[in-house]
Structure formats: structure tokens, C-alpha cells
Amino acid sequence: MVDKITFMETLHSVQEIAKASPVPLTKEEIRSYFQDMDLSEEQQEMIYQFLLTPQEEALENEDDNEQTDSQAEAKSYKRARSKSAAKPADTSQNPHFQMYLKEISAVAILTKEQQTVLYCKLLSGEETAIEEISHQWLKKIIKIAGEFVTPRVFLEDLVQEGNIALLLGLGQLLGKASEYGTDNADVLDDAQRKRLEKRLERFVREGMEHYRQELEGEADSENTILAKVSLIHEARKALAEENGTDPTVQELCEYTRIPQEEIVDILDLHEKARKE
């Protein structure tokens, strides 16, 4: 069963990316954003039509066409976003950002094996790997940045912050093979690779979150924390009812999309507060 909150958040993120992209997203690109969700062919087709149809034309035609429940829900969500969270400026109109998107669309994505070789080079201390890996992460960073967009925080600025955070993170991992349980930097198994990639993603997310908090102020930061606490609380209840047991941190992470480290910290604080 697809989690509605996660689905709508992902849909909005991809919509922002589609608006900023100088060329329409392909179905394969759109599918990649929802690959972790068990969507039917009908639901996937609805997503394609929603994202690929120009927004102005979609708004004109929606009232004249009969809609499915899923399409009506997407329409309601879209209108709510346009009223309450419309951005004061359209980043897709920035010619420099358009050029940037066009350039990275031409970057060839290496195979998993080829990327693993680059990670091995990084862990062995080869500085040339930093630039090569950062190129492979350009599209990932745009995808992550879409999750942090707000009325005051633009996609292009988040992408820049994410790229900087990634470079800093890669610098920290340079020559650190021992941190991944191997003395031989030429060997990196699938689990170690995934662990490294999650750490790099955490660097990126932390950089974007820090930037967003700086723009939106301390009050918004506190609201974000409270929202996460509330989301984790509701997730624990929902998963406990569904599975009959208290959920693991991994399950909470998959359900809420909050990094495991944050969930652990929040749960620890909650436990300390309960005991006091």
C-alpha cells in the first residue's frame, strides 16, 4: 500500500523539478522517482499525464474532463499548493540554471560497478575521484533538492548548496578505507557501497537543511523539528497497528523518509523526557 503523505511529497518534488527542467522529463526519469512505491499502471499513467502536461493547459482542461479519483486528488493538491505555497519567482526562468540543467542532462551515468570503482579510488586517496563522483551525483542532488523547496527557498540555490556539501563530504572520505571495514581500498562490497552512498546523501541533505533553516529562520527550524517528532509518533502508531509490533528504526525511516540518525536522536530524547 502506497503511503499517501510520501506519495504527495514525492509528486510535488518531481513537479518542481519538471518546472525547472528546460526539456520535458522522460517517463523513465519520472518512474525512477517513484520506483520504491508499488504503483499500478493506471497510477503511473496518471502521474505521467499530470507532470508532462503544461500546467496552464492542465488547469484549463481539468474542469471539462471527467476525472478519476486519483486525478481529482492530484488536482486538489496542485491547487492547494498554488494558493498556499506559490513561489514569488519562477526559477525555471533563470537562463543560467536552464543551461546547467541542459548540461547535466548530457552526463552519462556509469554502471553500479563503474561507480564502485570510483568509490574505491576515493577511499584509497585518489583526489581525481572526487570530481568524477560529483558528476555522477548531479542528477541525484537535483532530486533531493526538490524535497527542500519552499516559497522562500528556490531549487537552484538548494542544488548549489547540495553540490558544495557533496564536495566537502567527498573530501572527508578521501583515503578513509578503514572506516568501511576494509584495509584494501580496491575491494568494496555492495553493503559497503550503499553505506558510503547513504553517508554522502546525508552530507547533501544536511547542507540543504542548514541552508533552508538559515533562510527561514530559527522559528521555522523549531517547527520542522516538531513536525518530525509528530510524524515519527504517528508513524509508530500506524506501523504498530499494521504489523502488531513496535516498528524498527529502519521501518520508521522508510515510512517517514527521515534519516535514521535523526530518528534515533528524536527517540532518545523522547525516552529521556519520559523517564524524567
CA-to-CA separations, 29 to 6, 112, 114, 168, in angstroms, rounded:
18, 17, 21, 28
37 vs 16, higher pLDDT: 37
**Beta carbons within 10 angstroms of residue 90's beta carbon:** 11
> What are the phi and psi torsion angles at 205 (to 5°)?
-65, -40
- For the stretch 198-246, pLDDT in tens is 999 999 999 999 888 888 765 455 556 777 777 888 888 888 887 888 8
Residue 136: HSE in the Cβ half-sphere, 13 Å Cα cutoff: 20
Question: What's the pLDDT score for residue 23?
Answer: 65
Q: How far apart are CA 41 and CA 47, in angstroms?
A: 10
> Nearest to residue 20, comparing CAs of 89, 95, 98?
98
57 vs 197, higher pLDDT: 197
**Beta carbons within 10 angstroms of residue 153's beta carbon:** 19
CA-to-CA separations, 226 to 16, 221, 222, 251, in angstroms, rounded:
25, 9, 6, 20
pLDDT band at 133 (very low <50, low <70, confident <90, very high): very high
Question: What's the pLDDT score for residue 122?
Answer: 92
Q: Mean pLDDT score of the chain, rounded to an integer? A: 75
Dig out the grid coordinates for 134 from the structure: 560529483
The mean pLDDT of 105-112, rounded to a whole number, is 90
- Residues of the chain above pLDDT 70, percent: 65
> Is residue 264 pLDDT above 80, yes or no?
yes
Question: What's the pLDDT score for residue 57?
Answer: 38
The mean pLDDT of 95-113, rounded to a whole number, is 86
- For the stretch 34-85, pLDDT in tens is 777 777 665 676 677 666 554 333 334 444 444 444 444 444 444 444 433 3
Question: What's the pLDDT score for residue 80?
Answer: 42
Lowest-confidence pick of 129-138, 144-153, 210-219: 210-219
Question: What's the pLDDT score for residue 234?
Answer: 82
Question: What's the pLDDT score for residue 41?
Answer: 67
Question: What's the pLDDT score for residue 256?
Answer: 81
Question: What's the pLDDT score for residue 139?
Answer: 92
- For the stretch 153-189, pLDDT in tens is 889 889 989 998 999 899 889 888 877 655 555 678 8
- DSSP sequence for 173-201: HTT-GGGGT-S-TT---HHHHHHHHHHHH
Question: What's the pLDDT score for residue 8?
Answer: 59
Q: How far apart are CA 31 and CA 9, in angstroms?
A: 15
